[in-house]
Amino acid sequence: MNRKLTAIDLFSGCGGFSYGFQQAGFHVILGVDNTEIALKTFEQNHNDSKTLLLDLHEDNSIDKIVESKGEHKVDVIIAGPPCQGFSLTGARNENDERNTLFNAVFKLAKRVNPKAIIIENVPGLLNLYKGKAKKEIIELCEEMGYNCNPKLLYAPDYGVPQIRKRVFFVAIKKELGIFEFPEATHKPQDYIGCKDAIGDLPDLVSDLGNEELHYNKKPFSQYQKTMRNGNKVLKNHLGTQHTEHVINVISQVPEGGNHKDLPPGVGDSRKFNEAWTRYHSKRPSKTIDTGHRNHFHYKWNRVPSVRENARLQSFPDEFVFLGNKTQQYRQVGNAVPPLLGKVLGTHLINYLKDEN
C-alpha cells in the first residue's frame, strides 16, 4: 500500500512548518494550538486537515489529540513549544505545569509511536539552564528509542529571504539511522534579498490597497515566480496609515540603516536595537517578529504589509491569513518558514519511505 506519510503539528499556530511538510508530500492530519484564529487560518490552507483548539496544560489534552486523529497512523510529530515550556531546573517534576508543554510532545509520542519527532525552538534553548534543556530532549528521545540530532539552522542558507536562526531537534527511530541535515542550498553570495522577495508587489504608496489586489508588475526573480505559483489574486497586502511625523522619520533612514543613522533629535521616541530599521534591497530582511512597527520597506516609507512579511517568511501568495491585521502579523511572525519545513520534510522522507 502506498499511503501518504502523515504528521501532527503541535503548537501549530497558523501552520507554517506543517505547510512546508504538506508541500513536501505529507498529509497533515491535525493542527493543535490554543489560538482560535490561527487554527482557522490553518484549516483554510491545509488540505483535509482537522484542527483542535486545546491548551496542552490540560490533563486530558493528549487523550483529546489521540481521539481527534481517529484511525490515522502518525509518522511524524512536529512541535514548536514556547520556550517557557522548558522548565528543567532541579529534578524533573511531572506535575510542574511549566514542564507540561514540553512534555506534551513526548506524552503524545508514547501514545502514537511516530517514526520521527521534530522540535523547533529559539537558539537560546541550546544553552538554557546550562544546556540542560538540550540534554533533556536528547535523553527523552533515547529513552523512547530515537536517535536525536539537534542543529542550528540559518534560514538564508535554505533560500528564505530572512535572517532567522532556529534550532531543530530531529529524532528518528533508531532502526532508521541518524538524521543528517540537508546541505545548505544557498551560499552567502546567493542569499535572496528583499527586492527579489517582495519587489514585484504593489507599492501601496498612494493607495493603501484593498482585500483583493491584482499584481501590477511581472515577477522579476525566480523567488517571486515560486511565491506566485500561478496565483491571481493578492490577499493580505494592505498598507498602514502612518502619521506625517513617522513618514518623515522613516524617510531619513538610509537603506539597511536604523535609528543610529538618524540625525540628532530625530526619532528619539524609539532607540532600542531594532528601532527604525530599514531593510536593504540586496540582503535578507531582519527576523520577522509578531509586531510590525520597527521595520520598514527597503524603498517605501512604510512598514511591510502582512503579505510582504509572509513572503519574507517564504509563505506562498496562495496562503491566506485570517483575522484582523494585528492577528495576521502575529500569525506570520510566530511561524516557522514553510520553506524550511519543506526542505526538512523532503529530506526526512528519504529516511521514512523504506518503511512503507
Tell me the pLDDT tens digit for each residue of 52-87: 999 988 889 999 999 999 999 999 999 998 766 554
Can you give the CATH number for the domain in which 347 is found? 3.40.50.150
Q: Kindly state whether residue 161 falls inside one of the protein's structural domains.
A: yes
Pairing of strands 76-79, 50-53: unpaired
- Please state which of the ranges 89-98, 145-154, 174-183, 232-241 shows the lowest mean pLDDT: 89-98
Q: Name the residue with higher pLDDT: 245 or 51.
A: 51
Which band of pLDDT confidence, cut at 50, 70 and 90, is reported for residue 102? confident
Compute the distance between CA of residue 206 and CA of residue 49 in angstroms, rounded to an integer: 40
**Is the per-residue pLDDT at 97 higher than 60?**
no
Confidence of residue 237 (pLDDT cuts 50, 70, 90): very high
* Pairwise pLDDT comparison (266 vs 78), residue with the higher score: 78
Whether 122 is covered by a domain: the verdict is yes
pLDDT of residue 86: 58
81 near 119, Cβ under 8 Å? yes
Is residue 90 scored above 70 in pLDDT? no
Band of pLDDT at residue 265, cut at 50, 70 and 90: confident
DSSP state of 289: -
Catalytic status, residue 141: no
Please tell me the predicted confidence (pLDDT) of residue 89: 44
Between CA 299 and CA 276 the distance in angstroms is 14
Three-state SS for 59-113 is CCHHHHHHHHHCCCCCCEEEECCCHHHCCCCCCCCCCCHHHHHHHHHHHHHHHHC
Determine, yes or no, domain membership for 243: no
Closest among 168, 158, 228, 161 to 196, alpha carbons compared: 161
Dist. CA 296–CA 303, nearest whole Å = 4
Q: What is the number of structural domains in the chain?
A: 1
Q: How confident is the model at residue 272 (pLDDT cuts 50, 70, 90)?
A: low
In a domain, 277, yes or no: no
Q: How confident is the model at residue 136 (pLDDT cuts 50, 70, 90)?
A: confident
Decide if 204 is inside a domain: no
Enclosing domain of residue 81: 6-184+336-355
Which pLDDT band, with edges at 50, 70 and 90, does 290 fall under? confident
Most confident region among 7-21, 100-114, 209-223 by mean pLDDT: 7-21
Could you tell me how far CA 228 lies from the centroid of its own chain? 19
Per-residue model confidence (pLDDT) at position 355? 52
Q: Is 50 helix (H, G, I), strand (E, B) or coil?
A: strand
What pLDDT sits at residue 3? 80
| Residue 260 forms part of a structural domain | no
- Return the pLDDT at 1: 46
Q: Which long-range contacts link 323-330 to residues 24+ away (Cβ below 8 Å)?
A: 323/37, 323/38, 323/40, 323/41, 325/238, 325/240, 327/37, 327/38, 328/236, 329/290, 329/291, 329/292, 330/290
E strand intervals along the chain: 6-10, 27-33, 50-53, 76-79, 116-121, 146-154, 165-173, 213-214, 233-234, 277-278, 295-296
Q: Is residue 35, in this structure, part of any structural domain at all?
A: yes
Whether 168 has a pLDDT exceeding 70, the answer reads yes
Q: Which residue has the cell 522579476?
A: 220
- CA–CA separation, 333 vs 337, rounded Å? 9
Cell 536604523 identifies what position? Answer: 258
The residue assigned the cell 519511505 is 353
Residues paired with residue 150 on neighbouring β-strands, in sequence order: 169
Number of C-beta neighbours around residue 239 at 10 A = 18
Residue from 83, 141, 148, 194 carrying the catalytic annotation: 83
Q: Report if residue 102 sits inside a domain.
A: yes
